[in-house]
Amino acid sequence: MTDRICVARIGAAHGVRGEVKLWSFTEQPMAVADYGPLETADGSRQFQIETLRAAKDHLVARIAGIADRAAAQALRNIELYVPRDRLPPIEEDDTYYHSDLVGLAAMTTDGRRLGTVSAVLNFGAGDLIEIAPDGGGEKLMLPFTAANVPTIDLKAGRVVVVPPAVIEAKEED
């Protein structure tokens, strides 16, 4: 498990006074401002959210020290992290931080290794689990549901996935 969790990503500048679009990865999007200073992946820069408001499909944030559009635009695509100990503990058995799943082995129900979990993504219609095949090639994306990912075993370092029949038929050829 990682000691830092990505909780947001800065998007484009919003307006001319230094505000930015912000995509929150927290369960409650507005909670991203409650975790104290946010940091870059390497911890070299910190960002304090001064104000935060909801927009159509994102948040709009004012970050301390950012006063104009050029400064806001320079922050585009920076991912923001917090130390794990600032986040609430996970209390439900079927709830995970996405970063805890990345790097786990992806196995089929019959014990065949498919690859490694490379990401958990959400493009608006629900979470997807992305698996990078061990031998390279095209990544597999599956809906991150109990039907497609019936077992997650963090201690064993693996997830069990049920790939679509098309993929299974291709592997049998």
Domains of the chain by residue range: 4-86, 98-172
**Protein fold of 4-86:** Elongation Factor Tu (Ef-tu); domain 3 (2.40.30)
128-165 confidence digits (pLDDT tens): 899 999 888 899 999 998 889 999 998 899 999 998 76
Q: Are 69 and 5 in contact (CB under 8 A)?
A: no
Q: Assess contact for 9 and 24: CB atoms under 8 A.
A: no
Instruction: Tally the C-alpha atoms within 13 A of residue 75's C-alpha that lie toward its C-beta.
Output: 32
List residues bridging with 63 in a β-sheet. 49
CA separation for the pair 9, 49 (Å, rounded): 13
Sheet holding 79-83, edge to edge: 46-47, 38-39, 79-83, 4-14, 19-24, 59-63, 49-54
H or E stretch at 14: strand 4-14
Q: Residue 122 pLDDT more than 80?
A: no
Q: What is the pTM of this model?
A: 0.70
Q: For residue 8, what are the β-bridge partners?
A: 24, 80
Q: Give me the CATH code for the 98-172 domain, please.
A: 2.30.30.240
Instruction: Identify the band that residue 2 occupies on the pLDDT scale cut at 50, 70 and 90.
Output: low
